[in-house]
Structure 1
């Protein structure tokens, strides 16, 4: 089958980009021919990293699109344009350029089916234009957040998303939200979950030092709970040489990053900012770490938690909708993952300040609990993750798209 994947963002820089690439790689192994339309900057490489995939780039900071690549989140790990910043003229330029590339890709690649990432503006343009090819949408969560937070073409987007042939959701709660938001048919939404690359992320059984390594990996921004993580460190009562904290990732808001670095300097424990790591580097960091923590105030279904678990880390993660159900009872009851009760939220990404001290105390308690276990048993846990790989996810998608087409 010939499958055309579409994303408005860069294809390799965000969680949804990692997800899309995992799906593409797994479907490639199953024999599908694939193409991709994605946003890139004029300075970026014009080739996709898998030579077997036909790449149709939509290039920004050009005369046709004289602004940075649009991003589904307000915080993106590269220079980006926020959807809330788009003017009518910018939207028209995006529409004109995208439809030109879409027409070229359809004529050249002749897809049997189109898979669009995010139930938002670009997917709506596809629905408006394409009439004789089946179109599936994948919801990554951020699209629903945009619809709730800003009014950009909301009625247009909702009315077009309603015409999709099928939608993949990450978890049950998200499926319910999709059905409600778009008045979509229940039997045309399937929960497929997420996946990870088990060829890169696996437990290498390294011997670790006496100090406890605690790692965060993701965007460097306040909505990921990094400030609360750093504040919680000062509630721990260990010697300063007992704990090392690693912060892996990047962000686009320099002022916010500088504030986070300043908070880290007040910590009694050493905090290393590792910058943005590739998958091999991140796997090495996880293998040298004891605890992975993601105290985020908003997530879709965090792939990075799967990657950390597969490398033998014990995990502390916010109690995000759908995550416990996806992780499953076996891992949830293993003692290798603990969930943080979320503070009350003002909106999708902003916690109530009055609740933050309790949230930070909870982070510290969970870290203490895991540190005590790790000190008694230095051997990293072996966790069975075979049903959560990209290959497993690809087989689910393959089965469904063959029924649709």
Structure 2
């Protein structure tokens, strides 16, 4: 059976936060688009802020239902799967029992309404967390699969008081989809799931949008960081490392949003670099593709990642890469025969985003060395040869990813 000959399904997609932002939102939109292209019918339940309005790929407006935060239903901003989101948000660890009850009540109403209206054959939720557990409890007879994005594993660690209710629901899932083999092992260990229920699927990038084109003159070498402006992404250490590099000449394109004091701190550090930094804020995928197309070097300084889609986008756009050696990164990069990639050992952490003080100096120095190596290389050879990595990149196209997702749908009886 080829990729377009599966039984058409009615799929209810469930995401607790904005479907147009962060990695899980990009992943969700790709699932909507690919499922629609394969003949499936989509319905979406997602969390959004008051006043939000956005058209999404792969689904009509009348097949979307939203739970609105900062409203009568839920008084506080979106409870984010990361503690620092690129928009106003609330941390799960800060929710009171009444806050949590309002969250569950609003989403339970949305789940029940979607089930009655749409009568789905299959539920595809995102994150092994509260909403997924709630959906499994409310609709136990509908096949349900969940994509883990990594941020859920962090919430599981930082919110031990919520682990019981999460485990009670998530252990009843029909299948879980992991981003990497390392993540699968962590899911099995933390959630007590059978290994055969957890499938390594990976994550993808939009191969139609992120393509290599002719790079500009490398005077200066154009660097790009794209992600949240926060400590967990290593942004302060990246900016401090760059501040010590006088030559060769470079310019940083700083792309991404954030919130609160962490974002403000990153922007203060960026301001000290003067005209060597352009701050974009959060941008659309087409705009990101444009910036990547004219950048020579992509930097990912994170302390924690699931499988970084933005790194795939950068590599497909012909960017050199400097990244921390994390499991999700090595799942993509290991074994590639190219000098266009430099991986840096991350610092040891005392919690999910706090480096040990004795490792901070070493990490910043290693990051600087890798940056200097790749800036020099970009100056000599701005156009990299993608042939050594082409086969690896192709495996992470969304079409290839959805082939594996479809196999999971088939396995659970969707």
TM bucket normalised to smaller = over 0.9
1:286–1:313 CA contact under 8 A, matched in 2:
yes
Contact map agreement 1:234 1:268 (CA 8 A) in 2: no
Q: Secondary structure at the match of 1:152?
A: helix
Equivalent-residue separation in structure 2 for 1:9 and 1:224 (angstroms): 20
Structure 2 residue 377 is the aligned partner of structure 1 residue 370: no
- Please state whether the residue corresponding to 2:272 is helix, strand or coil: coil
CA distance in 2, matches of 1:346, 1:184: 27
TM-score, length-scaled by structure 1 = 0.95
Deviation at 1:137, TM superposition (A): 1.2
Count of residues in correspondence between the two structures:
400
- 1:246 aligns to what? 253
Give 1:141 shift.
Answer: 0.7
What is the aligned counterpart of 1:189 among 186, 198, 203?
Answer: 198
Which residue matches 1:86? 95
Q: Distance in 2 between matches of 1:211 and 1:198?
A: 28
How far does residue 326 in structure 1 lie from its aligned partner after superposition?
3.2
Q: What CA distance in whole angstroms lies between the structure 1 residues aligned with 2:301 and 2:221?
A: 18
CA distance in 1, matches of 2:310, 2:164: 33
Greater Cα shift, 349-358 or 302-311: 349-358
CA deviations on 1:318-372 (whole Å, 9 max, x unpaired) are 111132123452xx32122221101111111111122111111111111121122
SS in 1 for 2:189: helix
* 1:169-180 pair list within 5 angstroms: 169-180=178-189
Is residue 33–residue 57 contact of structure 2 (8 Å, CA) maintained in 1? no
State the 4+ residue runs in structure 1 displaced beyond 6 angstroms. Answer: none
- Within the candidate set 210, 224, 237, 1:228 is matched to 237
- Could you tell me which runs of 5 or more consecutive residues in structure 2 were left unpaired when the two chains were aligned: 1-8
CA distance in 2, matches of 1:322, 1:275: 25
Q: Are residue 349 (structure 1) and residue 353 (structure 2) matched?
A: yes
- 1:200 is matched with which residue? 209
Q: Report how far residue 388 of structure 1 moved.
A: 0.9
Residue 379 (structure 1) aligned with residue 383 (structure 2):
yes
**Match of 2:124, SS?**
strand
Distance in 2, Cα, partners of 1:207 & 1:93: 52
Q: Counterpart in 1 of 2:142?
A: 133
Does the 8 Å CA contact 1:171/1:323 hold for their aligned counterparts? no
Which of 226, 239, 257 pairs up with 2:263? 257
Q: Residue by residue, what CA displacement relative to the aligned partner does 1:238-287 show, whole Å, maximum 9, x if unpaired? A: 16xx211111001011x322322222233387111111111111111111
For 1:48 and 1:371, locate their aligned partners in 2 and report how far apart those are by CA, in whole Å.
Answer: 37
Q: Does 39-48 or 108-117 show the bigger shift?
A: 39-48
Superposed CA RMSD in Å reads 1.7
Q: 2 CA distance for matches of 1:386 and 1:257?
A: 34
**Structure 1 stretch 87-96 or stretch 140-149: which is displaced more?**
87-96
Gaps of 5+ in 1: none
What secondary structure, in the 3-state scheme, does the structure 2 residue paired with 1:381 have? coil
Q: Work out the CA distance in 2 between the residues paired with 1:286 and 1:96.
A: 42
Contact persistence 1:113–1:134 (CA under 8 A): yes
Q: Post-superposition shift, 1:185?
A: 0.6
C-alpha separation in 2, matches of 1:237 and 1:55: 51
